[in-house]
Amino acid sequence: MNYAQYIPLLLALPLLSFAILGIWGRKSLKKSSGIIGTMVLLILTIISIAVATHYFFIGEKLNNGYQTIFALNIPWLDFGYKNLSIDIGLLLDPISVMMLVVITVVSLMVHIFSLGYMKGEERYPTYFAFLSLFTFSMLGLVLSANIFQMYIFWELVGVSSYLLIGFYFTQPKAVAAAKKAFIVTRFADLGFLIGILMLGIQAETFDFLTLIERLTNAESTAYINMHTTSFLGISALTWALSLVFVGGAGKSAMFPLHIWLPDAMEGPTPVSALIHAATMVVAGVFLVARLFPIFHFNHTALNLVAWTGALSALFAAVIACTQTDIKRVLAYSTMSQLGYMMFALGVSGYGGESGLGYTASLFHLFTHAFFKSLLFLGAGIIIHAIHSNDLKDMGGLRHALPVTHLTFLIACLAIAGVPPLSGFFSKEEILLAAWEGNRMIFTIGLLTAGLTAFYMFRLYFLIFWNRPATKVISKEAPASMKIPLIILAAISLVAGFIPFSQLVTTDQQPFKSSFHVLFSIAPLLLVIAGIFTAMHLYKNQGEKAAHLAQWFGKFYQGALHKFYIDEVYLFITRNIIYKIIGSPAARFDKQVVDGGVNGLGNGTRFIAEKIKALQNGRVQWYLLVFLGGILILSFIFIGWNKI
């Protein structure tokens, strides 16, 4: 318990560093801001790894399971309504401790990488200030002890993501992408907020543990209330959970709210590695995992999670095969892997071995964070070296960038799921859970696994092989950019051997996960097939890929244009929302509301123009009018009395 007192430091330090770099960065800390930010992250990483070691391996256990520890709990805002209050608390349980490690390690790597990558940038200190802000909000999000506090940090994460996507704010594309990301996720967060309020008011608490306790007990009044109240034939609990999931789907770029993620690649590449690959986008998965016991008791909501995840996984994998921008391929790959994590949660059961999907999902979250940020950082070096994002400008880079080549290959193998790299183990567990939960989803997952291997190796071969070496503008990156790659590659190599089922489980009781060799044959064969197809098509320059694209015809064109989802959104917003709702409302405002106010003013002025001649400055004229008035009034009143 004694280490819990260091937990508030995890939030205080990055906030402090944000404030310092934000206030004094541009004036007096121009050169040292990167070092300060990185040092703070180094301290955070050390703290969180120490906390994780203590929590998982040294700290005392409760009935053989991991206990939940409150590091801090301060009542903050009391509503005075149904005992509702928002507390500021820090909660330690297996998933939040695991997330601490993921966030701080990836963030540290990205900080170190950025020291080299962002060097000479005009707004270098501001960049590190924003990174600190992001780290602060993300840590706050995972440590939140109640759902409202989580919502606050959730929005803070969105803000820092907005700031970092729009970091190159002189480019209109970056500004548009930042706005798009913010608006789409904000729109999804509306659902999240409504869901929170429904859950909070019915269960009379925002606290995660109490919420779970009340809503998983079929005899509690809150559960019965939410179960019997229904709207459009769906119970209030299902509505609330689905709405909460909409928020999660927006942040985790699930179909059809994924449109912001590929555009978010306009930000600096290390930012994509940190926010849009490893940490922020998994917030949705984390949210569902946090509320998993409630989701588990509600099959409709859980099925929604599963099918959204499965659909997104396949959908994004298909699109990723056709994209030609290196970062966009990676973005769609991220979306596909997030779909994997989602459907793993969706097919999971609760308690003991049936909670395999939950464990697998968080395991995949863990491994994916490392190899995906490695891929993004590698892409950063490549972009740095040839000053282009487009795969058409790349090829034959294996000699010019040996370290990048090797680490990129490791990451590709890991994400494709080749044993014994980390991705293999987590993906295997997910597929196993899907096999036991839902065969349809298992099939989709299997297909996606093959596609993943294909598009990752398409990327790999197009960058590093394919044609004679591209001319490299700058030499391979400085040490500060290589070291993170090597560390992340090392983690990707070994992370698969962590016995996750001992650490992160639904009921916090460890179980022994079984490993079936026979089961892994099918996915492995598909993966190998994917790799070899990619090799055949892309290792050497040729027309084979173009022929294949020709053969797919319309389908290829559709995937290349991301299945026109952006166009559908544009159509809906422009033609339906804008034309039918927006512009009539604007017209009503301009003509009726503004017209009324203007008319009042104009009328007053018109009358005033007509009668102002009465006030001509002649005192005797006033007096005459006054007397006339008196006379008329007196006649009226005298006459009135007579009658």
Task: State yes or no: residue 617 binds other proteins (CB under 8 A).
Answer: yes
Residue numbers 359-398 binding other proteins by CB under 8 A: none
CB of 610 to other proteins, least distance (A): 12
Q: Which is nearer to other proteins, 74 or 619 (CB)?
A: 619
Cβ neighbourhood burial of 475 (10 Å; 0-12, 13-18, 19+): exposed
The helix, strand and coil proportions of the chain, stated in percent and rounded to the nearest 5, come to: 75, 5, 20
Please give the helix or strand (H or E) that residue 91 lies within, else none.
strand 85-92
3-state secondary structure of 235: strand
Chain CA centroid to CA 261, Å? 8
Residue 320 · residue 391 · CB < 8 Å: no
Q: Please confirm whether the linkage preceding 420 is cis (ω < 30° from 0).
A: yes
CA distance 87 to 210: 13
Q: Which is nearer to other proteins, 610 or 642 (CB)?
A: 610
CB of 624 to other proteins, least distance (A): 6
CB of 620 to other proteins, least distance (A): 6
3-state secondary structure of 93: coil
Task: State yes or no: residue 627 binds other proteins (CB under 8 A).
Answer: yes
CB of 605 to other proteins, least distance (A): 13
Q: Which is nearer to other proteins, 570 or 624 (CB)?
A: 624
Q: Which is nearer to other proteins, 518 or 613 (CB)?
A: 613
Residue numbers 141-160 binding other proteins by CB under 8 A: none
Q: Please confirm whether the linkage preceding 256 is cis (ω < 30° from 0).
A: yes
Q: Which is nearer to other proteins, 586 or 623 (CB)?
A: 623
CB of 629 to other proteins, least distance (A): 14
CB of 637 to other proteins, least distance (A): 19
Q: Which is nearer to other proteins, 597 or 627 (CB)?
A: 627
3-state secondary structure of 254: coil
What is the DSSP code (8-state) at residue 216? S
CB atoms closer than 10 angstroms to residue 610: 9
CA distance 397 to 382: 9
Task: State yes or no: residue 170 binds other proteins (CB under 8 A).
Answer: no
Furthest CA-CA distance within the chain: 118
Residue numbers 595-614 binding other proteins by CB under 8 A: 612-613
Q: Which is nearer to other proteins, 517 or 611 (CB)?
A: 611
Q: Which is nearer to other proteins, 494 or 631 (CB)?
A: 631
Q: Which is nearer to other proteins, 120 or 617 (CB)?
A: 617
Cα–Cα separations (whole angstroms), residue 440 to 17, 127, 431, 518, 532: 48, 45, 11, 20, 26
CB of 632 to other proteins, least distance (A): 16
Residue 418 · residue 327 · CB < 8 Å: no
Cα four-point dihedral sign 314, 335, 339, 162: negative
What is the DSSP code (8-state) at residue 240? H
Binding region for other proteins (CB under 8 A) out of 163-171, 304-312, 454-462, 620-628: 620-628
Task: State yes or no: residue 638 binds other proteins (CB under 8 A).
Answer: no
Residue 14 · residue 133 · CB < 8 Å: yes
What radius of gyration, in Å, describes the C-alpha atoms of the chain? 30
Q: Which is nearer to other proteins, 471 or 610 (CB)?
A: 610
Q: Pick from 2, 170, 616, 641: which binds other proteins (CB under 8 A)?
A: 616
Residue 69 · residue 209 · CB < 8 Å: no
CA distance 358 to 377: 28
CB of 599 to other proteins, least distance (A): 23
Binding region for other proteins (CB under 8 A) out of 114-122, 463-471, 561-569, 622-630: 622-630
Q: Which is nearer to other proteins, 169 or 626 (CB)?
A: 626
Residue numbers 227-246 binding other proteins by CB under 8 A: none
Q: Pick from 31, 392, 475, 618: which binds other proteins (CB under 8 A)?
A: 618
- Distance from the first to the final alpha carbon of the chain: 97
Q: Which is nearer to other proteins, 588 or 621 (CB)?
A: 621
Give 298-341 as a DSSP string.
-HHHHHHHHHHHHHHHHHHHHHHTT--BHHHHHHHHHHHHHHHH
Q: Which of 329, 333, 336, 501 is nearest to 425 (CA)?
A: 501
Task: State yes or no: residue 620 binds other proteins (CB under 8 A).
Answer: yes
Q: Pick from 548, 586, 623, 636: which binds other proteins (CB under 8 A)?
A: 623
Q: Which is nearer to other proteins, 611 or 643 (CB)?
A: 611
CB of 636 to other proteins, least distance (A): 20
User: At residue 560, what are phi and psi to the nearest 5 degrees?
Assistant: -60, -35
Q: Pick from 77, 577, 580, 624: which binds other proteins (CB under 8 A)?
A: 624
Cα four-point dihedral sign 173, 174, 177, 182: negative
Task: State yes or no: residue 619 binds other proteins (CB under 8 A).
Answer: yes
CB atoms closer than 10 angstroms to residue 151: 22
Q: Which is nearer to other proteins, 64 or 620 (CB)?
A: 620
Task: State yes or no: residue 633 binds other proteins (CB under 8 A).
Answer: no
CB of 598 to other proteins, least distance (A): 23
Residue numbers 286-305 binding other proteins by CB under 8 A: none
CB of 619 to other proteins, least distance (A): 6
CB of 609 to other proteins, least distance (A): 10
Write a three-state SS string for 484-527: HHHHHHHHHHHHHHCCHHHHCCCCCCCCCCCCCCCCCHHHHHHH
CB of 590 to other proteins, least distance (A): 33
Count residues binding other proteins (CB under 8 A). Answer: 11
CB of 617 to other proteins, least distance (A): 3
CA distance 130 to 159: 10
What is the DSSP code (8-state) at residue 465? S
List residues near other proteins by CB under 8 A.
612-613, 615-620, 623-624, 627
